[in-house]
Each structure stands twice: as structure tokens, then as C-alpha cells.
């Protein structure tokens, strides 16, 4: 018997698993809750960073390896989006590419932070700090790749003509809103301290909270949608 | 926005939010984000009232007021567009949205001039905490304004080929979003240009 949703549920687990990995390995072990302030002097930064470099190295090594799950999760979302699309598959394709590129926004900065840990004891403080800054610049400023995913997802599910849509309208609007709010990350390069700096109230605490919330909420409704499609299409 | 008194079906509508409820979710979330911004600013001002006053003195409240009037006037055209739309007068609805767009666009000119004048005088978002907030908040607001102009442009297109109730929901939603843009400015203007005084 053919099952059009074979593997889709497994792919959908990529999101929740990556969310947990990110919190534990990138956040806690990687010392990113919150990250080192851009307001620290190079010497202060090295004094705080170098002693915990081994721990951060473990965190980044695991985060890089698991980053691919973001793309896998994105594929599960795309398979559900295809059931909503009427005219063509532009939105589900944009969503998938957005998710795929977001994977790279995990991989590349984590690789740079990993490099910073590699010779943390012998590198000049300024060099060490610039590596850390470089990772954060890419991580925060490449937000449009994820915004692409969020807006495509939201617009697609808003056009769902079912009596009860697969994703509730508020979830779609939430997705679009988070995507639009990511634009605030563009303020990052202009502030070393304060709410718009990389470790600030808005650009870190608020932005990362809504991003993690996005992953959690979309995952919940993704599982519900898959269950429903399986039921509806059961022979 | 209120329906015409005496029209039964419109009274029914008045009990619920105009436009699409999802748009109101977006608007509420957005305003919550701005509420956080306003709180941050208030805390900053409380901690350094003198510094904020000194920076504020460099702002021109006349320009701020001009922008307020531009947005309110544009919003008024949008209210009239919705009124026309509710009566099924799509032709007038369309010209009024065009008027809202046209008058609203003047906001870009005055704001652009203001940014230009500040930057050429050497005042940027790194000049002081006050100006960091000034550029960040008005910049994010400006982005909402640009999105709004885009939404109004799409609305003009939809009103050229109206599809009844569906088009009315779009028109009301667009109007609700456009009112959010002027509402946020009406908080930004007194907070940045007036409250707390100047040095």
C-alpha cells in the first residue's frame, strides 16, 4: 500500500530535535545564553573565552553536525505546503530553499566560532575577538534567508481554502511577523552595547525567543497537519 | 471606523473587528514589540534625563508634527475609502486609497530630509543613546511605512477589479494596517520630540 507521507513525519522531528540541540549545545555549552557582549575589550573577551574554549568546542562540533536537521524539517513543511498550493509550487520551493540556506547560517558561523576555540590559548586577543564577531555578523545579518522561509510559509497557509485550514491563520501571521521582525537584526553592526547589540534585550533576547517559538509552534502544527492529511487520504 | 448607521448588515459587522482577524494578530504582535521599544526608551530617559534632553534639542518638532499631520490626513482618506467600499462604491474607494497613498508618500520626503539633515550634521545612530533609539525606532517604523505603501498599491490594484466581500475584507485589513503605522508614529512623535523636554 502506498503511503504518500512515508518519511515525512520523521523529517518533521528534525525541527524539535534541532531546537533542543541548539539550546543545549549552541546555547548552554556554547556559552551563547547570552553571547559575549560586543562591548567587552579584546583582553576581557579572551580572559572569559579562552578558559571555556574546550566546552564551546564540543558545543559547536555537535551543533554543526545537527544543523542539517533544519533543512530536513523544512522538507516536511514543504510536503504539507504542496497540499495547499493550487497554482504552482513557488511558495513551497521558496520555503525549502529558505530552510536550506538557514542550515548554512548555522553551519558557517558555528565553524567560525569553532575555529576561534581551536587555538584560543595562543591567538592574539584582537584576532580571537574578530573571529567571534565574524561568526555573529553572519549569524545575525543573514536573517533574510530565514525571513524568506517564514514569509513563504505564512503566505501559503493563508491561501488554504479548506473549511478548517491546515495551519490556523494566526500561526501563518505569526510566521510572517517573526520574519518581518528579523529585520531588526540589521541594527546589530551599529551597536556594541544596549538593546540592539548582539547580546541586547531586543536583538538577542526578543529575537531569539521569537525564533525558537517559531520553531516550536510550527512543529506542533506541522505534526497536526501531517496526522490530518494521513487520515484524510487513508484508503 | 464605523459603518453607516441604519444599515442592518453593517451593524452586525461592527460587533467584530473589521477586515481579517489574522491581520489583527499581526498588528497586536507588532504593537507589543513597539511597546517594548517604548519601555526601553522610558527606562533610558529615566536614567539619563539630561543626556536625552540635550540630544532631543537637536530634533525639529515642526518636522515631527508635519509628519504626524501627513499620516493623519492620509489615514482620514483611508477611512473614507473604507466607507465607500462598504457602500459598494468601488470607484470612489479606489480614488480615496490613491489619495491616501499620495499624501502618505509625503512622509517619505520629510523623513528622508530629516535623516539627511541629521547625518550631514554628523548626528548618526552611534552619536548618543537617544539618537541610537531615534534612528532605530523611526527606521523600523519607516520600514512599516514602506510596507504599508506597498499594501496600499496592491489595494488600488484589487479595487480596479473588485470581488465583493473578499475585496472589502482586504480593504479593511489594509486600512487597519495603515492606521497602525500612523498610531505608532503618534506615540513616537511625542516620545522622541517632546516628552522630557529639551536642554
Residue with cell 497602525: B180
Q: Which fold has domain B8-194?
A: 1.20.120
Closest to A170 (Cβ–Cβ): which among B22, B30, B37? B22
Domain boundaries, chain B: 8-194
CB A191: neighbour CB atoms within 10 A?
21
User: Of B32, B136, B142, B43, nearest to A196 (Cα)?
Assistant: B136
CB pairs under 8 A between A and B: 49
Question: Is A83 inside any structural domain?
Answer: yes
Question: Is A72 inside any structural domain?
Answer: yes
Residue to mutate among A185, A196, A217, with most B CBs inside 10 A, is A196
Question: Is A2 inside any structural domain?
Answer: no
CB B110: neighbour CB atoms within 10 A?
16
- Identify all chain A residues contacting B26, using CB atoms and an 8 Å cutoff: 173, 176-177
Count how many domains chain A has. Answer: 1
Question: Is A44 inside any structural domain?
Answer: yes
The domain of A117 spans 8-230
- Contact between residue B184 and residue B34 where contact means Cβ atoms under 8 Å apart: yes
Question: Is A3 inside any structural domain?
Answer: no
State which residue of chain B sits closest to A176, comparing Cα positions. B26
pLDDT in tens, chain A (235 residues): 677 888 999 999 999 999 999 999 999 999 999 999 999 999 999 999 999 999 999 999 999 999 999 999 999 999 999 999 998 999 999 999 999 999 999 999 999 999 999 999 999 999 999 999 999 999 999 999 999 999 999 999 999 989 999 999 999 999 999 999 999 999 999 999 999 999 999 999 999 999 999 999 999 999 999 999 999 988 7
Question: Is A1 inside any structural domain?
Answer: no
Residue to mutate among B37, B48, B126, B130, with most A CBs inside 10 A, is B37
The complex scores an ipTM of 0.83
Eight-state DSSP code of residue A205 = I
Backbone phi and psi for residue B161, each to the nearest 5 degrees, phi listed first? -130, 70
Amino acid at each position: 500500500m502506498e503511503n504518500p507521507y512515508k518519511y515525512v513525519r520523521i523529517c518533521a522531528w528534525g525541527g524539535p530535535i534541532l531546537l533542543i540541540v541548539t539550546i543545549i549545545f549552541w546555547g548552554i555549552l556554547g556559552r551563547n545564553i547570552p553571547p559575549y557582549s560586543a562591548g567587552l575589550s579584546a583582553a576581557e573577551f579572551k580572559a572569559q573565552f579562552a578558559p571555556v574554549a574546550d566546552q564551546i568546542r564540543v558545543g559547536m562540533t555537535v551543533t554543526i553536525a545537527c544543523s542539517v536537521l533544519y533543512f530536513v524539517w523544512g522538507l516536511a513543511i514543504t510536503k504539507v505546503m504542496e497540499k495547499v498550493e493550487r497554482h504552482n509550487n513557488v511558495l513551497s520551493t521558496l520555503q525549502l530553499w529558505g530552510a536550506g540556506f538557514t542550515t548554512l547560517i548555522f553551519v558557517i558561523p558555528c565553524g567560525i566560532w569553532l575555529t576561534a576555540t581551536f587555538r584560543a590559548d595562543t591567538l592574539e586577543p584582537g584576532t580571537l575577538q574578530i573571529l567571534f564577531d565574524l561568526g555573529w555578523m553572519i549569524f545575525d545579518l543573514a536573517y533574510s534567508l530565514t525571513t524568506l522561509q517564514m514569509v513563504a510559509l505564512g503566505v501559503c497557509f493563508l491561501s488554504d481554502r479548506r473549511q478548517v485550514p491546515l495551519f490556523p491563520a494566526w500561526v501563518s501571521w505569526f510566521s510572517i511577523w517573526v520574519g518581518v521582525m528579523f529585520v531588526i537584526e540589521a541594527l546589530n553592526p551599529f551597536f556594541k552595547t544596549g538593546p540592539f547589540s548582539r547580546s541586547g534585550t531586543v536583538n538577542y533576547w526578543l529575537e531569539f525567543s521569537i525564533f525558537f517559538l517559531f520553531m516550536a509552534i510550527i512543529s506542533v502544527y506541522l505534526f497536526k497537519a501531517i496526522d490530518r492529511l494521513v487520515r484524510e487520504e487513508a484508503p | 471606523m464605523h459603518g453607516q448607521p441604519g444599515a442592518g448588515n453593517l451593524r452586525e459587522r461592527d460587533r467584530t473587528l473589521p477586515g481579517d482577524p489574522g491581520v489583527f494578530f499581526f498588528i497586536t504582535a507588532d504593537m507589543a514589540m513597539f511597546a517594548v521599544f517604548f519601555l526601553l526608551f522610558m527606562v533610558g530617559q529615566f536614567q539619563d534625563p539630561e543626556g536625552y534632553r540635550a540630544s532631543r534639542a537637536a530634533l525639529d518638532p515642526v518636522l515631527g508634527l508635519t509628519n504626524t499631520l501627513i499620516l493623519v490626513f492620509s489615514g482620514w482618506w483611508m477611512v473614507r475609502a473604507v466607507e465607500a467600499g462598504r457602500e459598494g462604491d468601488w470607484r470612489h474607494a479606489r480614488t480615496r486609497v490613491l489619495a491616501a497613498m499620495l499624501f502618505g508618500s509625503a512622509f517619505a520626503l520629510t523623513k528622508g530630509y530629516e535623516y539627511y539633515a541629521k547625518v550631514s550634521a554628523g548626528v548618526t545612530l552611534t552619536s548618543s543613546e537617544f539618537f541610537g533609539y531615534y534612528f532605530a525606532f523611526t527606521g523600523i517604523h519607516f520600514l512599516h511605512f514602506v510596507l504599508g505603501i506597498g499594501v496600499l498599491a496592491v489595494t488600488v490594484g484589487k479595487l480596479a477589479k473588485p470581488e465583493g466581500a473578499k475585496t472589502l475584507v482586504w480593504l479593511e485589513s489594509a486600512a487597519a494596517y495603515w492606521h497602525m503605522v500612523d498610531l505608532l508614529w503618534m506615540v513616537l512623535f511625542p516620545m522622541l520630540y517632546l516628552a522630557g523636554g529639551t536642554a
